[in-house]
Amino acid sequence: MGNIPNLKDIVLRDTPFADLMNRRVFNILLLATKYDAFMLEEDGRVDEEMFNEYTHLGLRYPPRFAQASTLEEAEKMLSERNFELIIEMPNMDNIDLTANARSIKEKWPQIPIVLLTPFSKEVSKRVAREDLSCVEYVFSWLGDSELLLAIVKLMEDKWNAPHDCASVGVQIILLVEDSVRFYSSALTHLFRYVLEQSQYFAKEALNDQLRTMRMRGRPKVMLARSYEEALGIYNLYKDNILGIVSDMSFAKGGKKEEKAGLALGEYIRRIDEHLPIILESSEDENAIVADKLDADFISKNSKTYPQDLKQAVRKNFGFGDFIIQNPETGEELMRMKSLKDLQHHVFEIPDDAMRYHLTKNHFSRFFFTRAMFPPAVILKEVSVQEYVDMDEARQLVFDLIMSYRRMKNEGVVAIYSRDMFDEYSHFARIGKGSLGGKGRGLAFMGTMVKRYPKLESKDLAVNIPKTVVVCTDVFDEFMDQNNLYPIALSDASDDEILQAFVNATLPLHVREDLAFYFNTLHCAVAVRSSSILEDAHYQPFAGVYSTYMVPVDPNNKDISLERLLKAIKGVYASVFFHDSKAYLTATQNLIDQEKMAVVLQEVVGSIHDTLYYPTLSGVARSLNFYPVGEEKAEEGIASIAFGLGKYIVDGGLTLKFSPKHPRHILQLSTTDFALRETQRNFYALDMENEVNEFDIHEDFNLKKVSIKDAPLDSTLKYVVSTYDRDSDMIWDGYFPHGRRIISFANLLQNDSLPLAPTISRLLEIGQKEIGRPVEIEFAVNVNPETGTGTFYLLQIRPIVDNKERIEEDLGIIDSNNTIISSTKVLGNGIVNDVYDVVYVKSELFDATNNPRIAEEIVKINEKLLSEDRNYILVGPGRWGSSDPWLGIPVKWAHISGARVIVECGLQNYQVDPSQGTHFFQNLTSLGTGYFTINPFRDDGSFDEDYLNSLPAEEETEFVRLVHREKPFVIKMDGRKSIGVVMK
C-alpha cells in the first residue's frame, strides 16, 4: 500500500452544519420612490415574492422588507430598527445618484448598501462615472424578482465564507464579470442552480432537520469585478475553489483588458492544472483560448445562454449525476445518481476511467458539492500517483463512503425511505406519530453514543442495533380501519383479542415498507412494544406488553414476513390483554389514553448450530442498593447472563457485579457458591422453529437450553469457567471433562475486552444526560476470530429515586415493636395508609406448591384492587421468578396492589435480592418498598406469630390476608438501606 490513509486510524467527524451561515440577512431597508418600489414588487408584495422564492428552494427565514421613500424616512427607520442590508433604487433625476448612500454610510458604516438601477445604456454609462466607494455592489433590475434573492445570498456568502471555508471546507464558485447587466443575470442563474442542486442533494439527508442543515454547506457564490479582485479571492480561498466562471474581458490595472480572462486562467493553471474553468465571451473566437486553457467555453451571445451555463456548471462543477466517462472517447460508461450508487458500483469502474476521474479530482468534487466534507478532504489530499493500483483507489473510495454513511446514521432518527434504508441505517421511523417510550429511549441512546465517541475502544465498539419504529399513528390507523375497539375494550379473553388482531390487516403502505425493510435483515428481528406511557418517569410499564422474536428464513422470506406482521399485531393486541388492563387500572391510567408504537430491532447475536443468541445480555443500574465490601451505592450494579435477555427478565441466576469492582463477585467467591448460584440454563432463538400459529405467550419460539448443552464453539472461552470435580477447583476457560460455570472470567477477570469499564462509563453518562439514576439494558456480541466485540445498548430508562430523608435512626428501633425489619431495603419514606398484610404461611411452605400459591395471590390481589386497598406482601423466595423453584411465579400485574414487597428466606430456602428484572424496575418506579430478610441467620426479622394472632379476613390453603383498623406504619431509609414495618 502507498501513502494512502488507513481508515482504522481516521475517525470521520460529522460536519457542524449548525455553525455555518451564521450571519444572515433578516431585515432589508428598501429606499425607493413609491413608484419604483411598486414596479419592483409588481403588485406591491415584495415580502411575499421573497417568501415564495425561499419556500420553493427549501430555504428558511426569508428576510423582511421595510420601505422608505425619502432619506429622512430611511434614517428614522435605521435609528429605530436593526437592518442587515440596504437596497437603494436611486432617483435617476437626481444629479448625485449616490448622495443618499453616502449620507447613510457616514452614520451607519457597518450596513452594506446595494444600488439597484433600471437597465439602459445611458444609466450604465452614468453609473460608471459615479464614485461608488460607498456602495457594496450595483445591480441592474431586469424585471426578475429572483435577483433580490441573489443579492441576499451573495452578501451572506461573502460574510460567511471566511469561517465556513476554513472550518469545514465549504466550496466557492467564483464569478468574474464587470458588466453590471451581465452579472445581474448570471448571478441569478448561478444561485438558482446551486440552490436547486443543493436542495436535490439534501434529499440524501435522513430527516427534514438534517436536510435543512445540509443546505448550509452548499457551495457559495462570490463575485469579482476586476482581475485584482479575482486574484485576491482566488489566493485567499484557493483550497476551497470549486470552479471559476469568468468573462474574457474585464478591468485589469484600472482599465479594460480584452484578454484579462486569459491572464487569470494562465495564473490559475500554473497553480492548479485541473480546476474547472468556464470562459465566457461575446467574441466566439475566444473558444480557441478556452481550449488552450483546458476550459469550457460559453458564448454570451447565445440565445440559450441560461441553459448553456447550467449545463457547463453541471458538467464541470460536480453537480447532477456522476458520469463515468471513457477518457479517450468521452463516452458515458456509467452514471451514479447518489452516494449509495457510487458505493455499490465503484468496483465496476474500469482502471483508465478510475485514474482519469481521480486525476481530475472528480471524486472529491462529487463529495464537496454534496456538502460531504470529511471524505472529500481526504480524497483531495491523495495524489493519484500515491495509489499502488486502481484497486487500492476503489477500496479507499468504498471505505470512505461506508465510514461516512455509518457516521451520518449514528444518533439520527431518520424518516424511513425504501430507497435509503440499508445495512448502514441505524434508526428510522415509519409514520409521523410518537416513537413511544422505548423508541424515545433508543433515539436518545443513539444521540448519546454519538456525543461521546470515547465510549468506544479499538476492541469494543458501542452502538444500538439497527432499529425501525412503527409510530403511534400507524396504531391509530390500524385500530380504526379494522374497527377493533369494540372487541379490544370488551371482556373477551386474551386469545380472542389476539385472534381478532392477527386476522386484521395493517395499512398497505406500512406492509410495503416492512416488506422492503425485511430484505435488509439477516437473522432475526425483535418486535417490542413502545407505548406512550412505557418507560416514562414514574410510569413503569417495563415488561407489561409483549415482545416477540421473529427468525428470518432467507429461503422463505414470505412466511418470515407474515410472522413479522403477526408479531406487530400481537404487540398491538397486548395493550388490551387482561393483565395490561389490570395494570393500567392499578397505575390509574386510562386504557383509551394508551397508544402503541412498535420497535423493530435486529436481534443481537450470532448463529450457533441451529440456535441464535448473543454472547451475553445484561441489565445495569447506576444505583447499587446492596453494596458489598468496598463497593459504593453510586458505582452501580450490573447483572449479566449468557444468551438472550429473557433469562434476566424472568429473574434467572444472573452474574452480578459492580462495574468498578468486576473481580469481586460474591457468586464466585467459593466453589460451593459458584456451583449453586450461577446460571444453569439460557434462552436462544430456535432457527428451526416451524411454528406458524401465533400465541399470546411471547416466548413460543424461544428455546430454553441447559448450559451443558450449549454449542461447542470458540465463544465459550469468553463465557465459561470449568469445575474440576477431582481437584474441587474452578479453572477459567472451557475444558471438556468438567462442569461449565457461567463466570465471564475472560471478560471480567482477565480484561480481554473492556466490558466493565464500558458499563461504568455508560451509567455515568446516562445519569448525567438524564439527570437522575438510570437503568440500561444491553447485549454484547464477541467475534472470537478477531477478539473484538460490539456492545449494543438496547434501552435506557430513569430509576425513581426518592431522596426524602428519614431523620429517625431506624437501626435502633426495638425489634419487639416491629413486624418486619430489614437491613436490605429498597425504597424511601414513610407509608401510613396501608391496613392489610398478605403473607404466605411458612409452616406449610413447599416450593413445589409455588404455582398454586401464585394462583391464590392473584385472586386476593384482584379482590383488594377492586376495593382500592393496598397491602404488604410477604413470601418466601423471589417474587416474580418464572422458575418456580426460586420463588412464587407471579407477574407484576398479579401483585400490583402491593405497597411493600418482602422476600423472606427460610432455613432451607435462602433468598438473594432479585435485582435485574423488569419486575424489579416496576416496583422501584412505583416507589414500592422492597425488603429482603433471612431471619434464620439473623439477617432481619419477621414476627409471623403476631400476624397469626390477628383475625384472618381471608385464608386459603397457603395464603393469609389480615386487616386491622390501625394502619401498618412502614418506614424506609433508602440511604442506609434500613426499613421497618411497625406493630
Residue 29 has pLDDT above 70, yes or no: yes
What's the pTM value of the predicted model, to 2 decimals? 0.62
Q: Which of 86-100, 686-700, 716-730 has the highest mean pLDDT?
A: 716-730
pLDDT at residue 1 in the model: 45
Tell me: pLDDT of 59 over 70: no
Give residues with Cβ within 8 angstroms of 692, minimum separation 6.
Answer: 559, 563
More confident residue, 91 or 99: 99
Residue given cell 446595494 in the structure block = 114
**Per-residue pLDDT, 916:** 42
**pLDDT per residue over 144-179, tens digit each?**
778 888 999 999 999 999 999 998 889 999 999 999
Q: What share of the chain is helix, strand, coil (3-state, %, to 5)?
A: 40, 25, 35
pLDDT (0 to 100) of residue 625: 64
Q: Grid cell 377493533 — which residue? A: 484
* pLDDT value for 633: 78
Question: Residue 76 pLDDT more than 80?
Answer: yes
- Where in the chain are the domains? 322-409, 410-445+469-591, 604-801, 810-982
Q: What average pLDDT score do residues 439-447 get?
A: 80
In this predicted structure, which of 244-248, 324-328, 694-698 has the lowest mean pLDDT?
694-698
Burial group, residue 80, by CB count within 10 angstroms (0-12, 13-18, 19+)? exposed
Least confident of 346-360, 447-461, 729-743: 447-461
Pick 545 or 404 by higher pLDDT: 404
Adjacent-strand bridge partners of 334: 324
Q: What is the pLDDT of residue 202?
A: 62
Tens of pLDDT, residues 480-522: 999 998 998 888 998 899 999 999 999 998 898 888 887 777 7
Contact 666, 628 (CB under 8 A): yes
Q: What is the pLDDT of residue 75?
A: 94
Q: Is the pLDDT of residue 917 over 90?
A: no
User: Is residue 980 predicted with pLDDT exceeding 80?
Assistant: yes
- Which of these ranges, 246-260, 552-566, 920-934, has the smallest mean pLDDT? 920-934
- Residue 122 confidence (pLDDT) above 70: no
For residue 540, the model assigns a pLDDT of 39
pLDDT band (50, 70, 90) for residue 65: confident
Residue of higher predicted confidence among 307 and 651: 307
Of 657, 581, 574, the residue nearest 862 (C-alpha): 581
**pLDDT for the residue numbered 487:** 92
Percent of the chain with pLDDT over 90: 40
Residue 771 confidence (pLDDT): 86
Tell me the pLDDT tens digit for each residue of 242-271. 999 999 999 999 899 999 999 999 999 999
Give whichever of 16-25, 84-93, 960-969 has the largest mean pLDDT: 960-969
Work out the number of other CB atoms within 10 angstroms of the CB of residue 207. 14
pLDDT at 865 over 70: yes
Flag whether pLDDT at 343 surpasses 50: yes
- Mean pLDDT, the chain, rounded, equals 84
107-119 pLDDT, tens digit each? 999 999 999 987 6
Q: Which amino acid is at 366?
A: F
Reported as a pLDDT band with limits 50, 70 and 90, residue 878 is confident
Query: Looking at residue 698, what is its pLDDT?
Result: 57
919 pLDDT above the threshold of 70: no
Rounded to whole angstroms, the Cα distance separating 798 from 536 reads: 8
Average pLDDT rounded to a whole number, residues 128-151:
83
pLDDT, position 199: 75
Choose between 827 and 867: higher pLDDT: 867
- Closest-CA residue to 617 (of 741, 781, 462): 781
Here the cell at position 923 is: 416496583
pLDDT at 92: 61
Predicted confidence band of residue 233 (pLDDT cuts 50, 70, 90): very high
- Cα-to-chain-centroid distance, residue 41: 45
Total Cβ atoms within 10 A of residue 462 = 21
Residue 941: burial class (beta carbons within 10 Å; 0-12, 13-18, 19+): middle
Q: For residue range 833-859, what is the model confidence (pLDDT) as tens digits?
A: 999 999 999 888 888 999 999 999 999
**Beta strand spans in 409-483 (E):** 414-415, 427-430, 460-463, 467-470
Instruction: Give residue 45's pLDDT.
Output: 59
Angle 299-304-308 from CA coordinates, rounded to 5°: 65
If DSSP codes are grouped into helix, strand and coil, which group holds residue 156?
helix
- Whether the per-residue pLDDT at 915 is higher than 60: the answer is no
Q: Sorting pLDDT into bands at 50, 70 and 90, what band is 883?
A: confident
Instruction: Answer with the residue of higher pLDDT: 731 or 388.
Output: 731
Band of residue 301 on the pLDDT scale cut at 50, 70, 90: very high
Residue 884 has pLDDT above 90, yes or no: no
Residue 690 has pLDDT above 60, yes or no: no
Would you state the cell numbers that stand for residue 87, as one nine-digit string? 437596497
Q: Is residue 471 within 8 Å of 430, Cβ to Cβ? A: yes
Q: What pLDDT is attached to residue 561? A: 86
C-alpha 650/C-alpha 805 separation (Å) is 33
- Residue of 656, 658, 648 lying closest to 681 (CA atoms): 648
